[in-house]
Amino acid sequence: MNELWLGSETDDALIARIQGAVHSLNGTFSEPVLVLGGSQEITTYTISLPSGDLTLELETYIGITFRGPEDLIAALAKVVNA
């Protein structure tokens, strides 16, 4: 399992770019799974793309992270950062 840190979990522009990138690649988001623990909040989504699935995690103090196959992360990150 590979992972890529993208930025702050409070970066609304980055979140909007991720959403746009997923939709431009004909992908969908699962319903969010929210976990609270003390001052930590973790929201996890499964992103389903035609070529496979990966995980998007937004975590307090950590940021936004993609987890999954390297090729899917690279393809999505390329569109997010375009």
Residue pLDDT, tens place only, 14-25:
999 999 999 999
pLDDT band with cut points at 50, 70 and 90 for residue 1: confident
pLDDT band with cut points at 50, 70 and 90 for residue 2: very high
Q: Region 2-9: what's the mean pLDDT?
A: 94
Residue 15: in which H helix or E strand, if any? helix 12-24
Instruction: Look at residue 33 in the predicted model and tell me its pLDDT.
Output: 97
* Maximum pairwise Cα distance, the chain: 37
Residue pLDDT, tens place only, 60-71:
999 999 999 999
- Residue 82: pLDDT over 80: no
User: Whole domain around residue 35: which residue ranges?
Assistant: 2-80
* Residue listed under structure tokens 């399992």: 1
Number of domains in the chain: 1
∠ CA 8-74-41, nearest 5°, is 30
The domain that contains 28 carries what CATH number? Answer: 3.30.160
Answer yes or no: are the C-beta atoms of 64 and 8 closer than 8 Å: yes
How far apart (Å, rounded) are the C-alpha atoms in residues 9 and 20?
17
- The letter for the amino acid at 51 is S
